[in-house]
Amino acid sequence: MSEPGNIGGFRPRRYRTDGGGPDFGRMIEALRRIQDGITAADAPEGVVTEVADMLEKVAAAVEPYEVDEEGMIAGRRVDLPGRGQALIPPLEYDEWDEDHVVARCSMGRFYLGANGAAHGGVIPLVFDEVLGRLANTGRPVSRTAYLHVNFRAITPIDAPLRVTGTVVRIEGRKRFLTAALHHGDTLCADGDALFVALNPGQP
């Protein structure tokens, strides 16, 4: 879906879409495959050595192009799943306005905790991402003051998940939001958060 302007606190000069440049999305997609593949693999010694050699070459290829935060692409490509940031599970947004968000995601093996369940730390990450962007949609930039998460059932990896976020109320600088994560009809997690609008000069 097309996203409304002023998404997630991105100032226009920081907020990028494709613009016909290098295929950054393909590179991040490959990185996600590497994260999942390496996490899942029990490869023989020769393969591990070969992969380590290749990854060292990959690191050496990109390191000369390091830029400061203002110039970064990762995290700024709001047209890509997870903003082109390999930390965040790839999120696809189906509905988005100033009051609510509905998104889909699936967490690969990289996000495994144990016994088929996603790591408990990934769920707050997803909620913070979705609620942070929602809190800032059409509003001045805010930051998370708290995020309370209830783990109601395990969140399966490699399964379709639905994430919803809602703005419950706004009191001055304070924005109260809720989030839920479902697998089918099962509520896996829910949470509530406070975002506080930044004062001038606050980082």
Ligand X SMILES: CCCCCCCC(=O)SCCNC(=O)CCNC(=O)[C@H](O)C(C)(C)COP(=O)(O)OP(=O)(O)OC[C@H]1O[C@@H](n2cnc3c(N)ncnc32)[C@H](O)[C@@H]1OP(=O)(O)O
User: Which is closer to ligand X, CB of 33 or CB of 173?
Assistant: 173
Question: Per CB under 6 A, does 133 bind ligand X?
Answer: yes
Question: Residue 50, Cβ neighbours under 10 Å: how many?
Answer: 12
Closest CB to ligand X among residues 72, 117: 72
Query: Cβ of residue 193: shortest distance to ligand X, in angstroms?
Result: 9
Binding residues for ligand X restricted to 144-173, rule: CB under 6 A = 144-146, 173
Residues in the chain: 203
Does 199 help bind ligand X (rule: CB under 6 A)? yes
Q: Does residue 174 bind ligand X (CB under 6 A)?
A: yes
Is 115 or 199 the residue whose CB approaches ligand X more closely? Answer: 199
Least Cβ distance, residue 136 to ligand X (angstroms): 7
Q: Which long-range contacts (CB under 8 A, 24 or more apart) does 85-89 make?
A: 85/28, 86/28, 86/31, 86/32, 86/35, 87/125, 88/125, 88/126, 88/129, 89/122, 89/125, 89/126
Long-range contacts of 167-173 (CB under 8 A, 24+ apart): 167/98, 167/99, 167/100, 167/134, 167/135, 168/192, 173/142, 173/197, 173/199
* 194 in contact with ligand X (CB under 6 A): yes
* Nearest distance, CB of residue 7 and ligand X, angstroms: 8
**141-156 burial string, b = 16+ CB within 10 Å, else e?**
bbbbeebebebeebbb
Instruction: Kindly state the number of chain residues that form the binding site for ligand X, as judged by CB under 6 A.
Output: 18
Cα-based distances in Å from 153 to 66, 139, 172, 190: 41, 33, 35, 10
CB of 139 to ligand X, least distance (A): 13
Residue 9, interface with ligand X (CB under 6 A)?
yes
Shortest distance (Å) from residue 123 CB to ligand X: 14
Q: Is 128 in the site for ligand X (CB under 6 A)?
A: yes
Chain residues that interact with ligand X, rule: CB under 6 A: 8-10, 128-129, 132-133, 143-146, 173-174, 194, 196, 198-199, 202
